[in-house]
Amino acid sequence: MKSDSEGHKSSSKIQIHKGKILLKPRSWVNLGYSIANSEKETFFLKNAIPGETVDTVLLKRSGSLFWGVASEIQEVSSERISSDCSIFPRCGGCSYRHVSYQKELEIKKFLLQETLEHFLSKKHIQIPEIEILSGDPNGYRNTAQIQLGFAGNQRLAGFYEEFSHSIVNLPEEGCKNLPQEMNFAFAEFLKQEVKGSKQILKSKTLSFRLEGTKVISYKKKSVSFSENIRIPELKKIVWEIPAGGFSQVNRYLIAPWLEKIFELVPNNQNRILELYCGSGLIAIALKSKTTSWLGYEISSDCVQQAKRNVLLNGISSCDFKTLNLETDWIDSEEVLNSSFWIMNPPRAGLSKKVLQTLIKTSPNGFLYSSCNHSTLVRDLSLFLNKDYKLSNVTLVDFFPRTKHFEVIVKVEKKD
């Protein structure tokens, strides 16, 4: 695959074909797009494969940057497949249903590799071979939020179009990313509306969460989970999430993700410091790595749930505290007594205060799990120096067929 920089020199005048812009994308770029250039403009294209020639419908403009979707393919790539979803590419939920899942993984690995090299090559940081964790690309989500609306008297229920708040109705068979139980529950909700349910009529969204094989309301009820994971022996762990609380959305990859984290964290740590700890899931899985665990989280509900979750698993030597990591400093004594850090921040990445504390404290190592590889690599570029090495990079495809993926990196001091 060509990198963005390798193909940047090729550009041409805009051609018009049947009233649409005719473009030839040259490379994959982040967020599920391929990129094409004219003499003065840059185009980010959905549903287009590098090397193809496509008729393009433009959706958004910002200066000389344009975003659009390929509506007709004039020259077809051998990598193109027929989409298994009748509303792709109109629906904004998926980005890669025009290529095989294996090809999608190759693209995501390429994009991660390119981002790492762009930020870290100037600092002469050696990048290890990227590992990939993936599972079934269909029916994987354990949460869903369906948008509701009307077009005249017609009920609309589905997901938004790209760069729009126009709702694309889901097909009768439902969404490919949702398990059958969720698609069935969604259909039943709509049947109840036909019978006159005011609850549905007044709602703008339907929010579901999967608990085993049972579909429940996302915001009105806490939910219980259990997984068998090898840490290192096969062990069952259980945890609960408060109503509306965050959980990893891919039901097939929670156990492999935890097992990978367990594999990467060194044994016999005097204390592990976990930032953005959520409801304590990682602590439950990795408690055998240390005699003392301290987690910080902004949500007091999640902190209380984390304390309950460790007790559910017979663990007593974990502590969790409420702290806004964007605005508040971590207690210096607690930081100094922590030999290894685990961080799982939101998409915005680490706060300035966390980064400054990390740089000042210089722990023996840390694990960073992120759903935004751009902010992850940005943070790494600010921290990594001659005393540290990047010892593992793992791409975890929590979000098959979409533009998103998770990344785990391990950083440790050099010998």
Are 287 and 399 within one domain? yes
Predicted TM-score (pTM) above 0.85: yes
Could you give the C-alpha distances from 283 to 91, 109, 335, in angstroms and in order? 37, 28, 17
Domain end (from 80, 96, 123): 80
Are 345 and 314 within one domain? yes
Are 59 and 177 within one domain? no
Are 71 and 193 within one domain? no
Binding residues for S-adenosyl-L-methionine: 248, 276, 297, 344
For 167, phi then psi, to 5°, come to: -90, 130
Q: Which two tokens stand for residue 297?
A: 């989280």
Q: Which two tokens stand for residue 356?
A: 């400054």
Q: Which of 351, 352, 379 is nearest to 367 (CA)?
A: 379
Are 210 and 263 within one domain? no
Angle in degrees, 0-180, between the axes of helices 101-120 and 373-383, rounded to the nearest 10? 30
Are 24 and 156 within one domain? no
Are 114 and 252 within one domain? yes
Are 325 and 409 within one domain? yes
Are 308 and 336 within one domain? yes
The single residue listed with the structure tokens 């354990």 is 142
Are 127 and 258 within one domain? yes
Active site residues: 371
Q: Report yes or no on 3 lying in a domain.
A: no
Are 149 and 179 within one domain? yes
Q: Report yes or no on 71 lying in a domain.
A: yes
Are 396 and 313 within one domain? yes
Q: How many domains does the chain have?
A: 3
Q: Report yes or no on 36 lying in a domain.
A: yes
- Tell me the CATH number at 57: 2.40.50.140
Going residue by residue through the chain, which has 415 residues, state the pLDDT in tens, using 9 for 90 and above: 765 544 444 556 667 666 689 999 999 999 999 999 988 999 999 999 999 999 999 999 999 999 999 999 999 999 999 999 999 999 999 999 999 999 999 999 999 999 999 999 888 899 999 999 999 999 999 999 999 988 888 888 999 999 999 999 999 999 999 999 999 988 888 887 665 554 555 668 888 888 877 787 766 667 888 999 998 888 999 999 887 777 889 999 999 999 999 999 999 999 999 999 999 999 999 999 999 999 999 999 999 999 999 999 999 889 999 999 999 999 888 898 899 999 999 999 999 999 999 999 999 999 999 999 999 999 999 999 888 999 999 999 999 999 999 999 999 999 8
Q: Report yes or no on 222 lying in a domain.
A: no
Q: What is the DSSP letter of 123?
A: G
402 in Cβ contact with 94 (< 8 Å): yes
- Tell me the CATH number at 257: 3.40.50.150
Q: Which residues, including other chains, have CB under 8 Å from residue 412's CB and lie 6 or more apart?
A: 364, 365, 388, 389, 391
Task: State the residue range of the domain holding 27.
Answer: 15-80
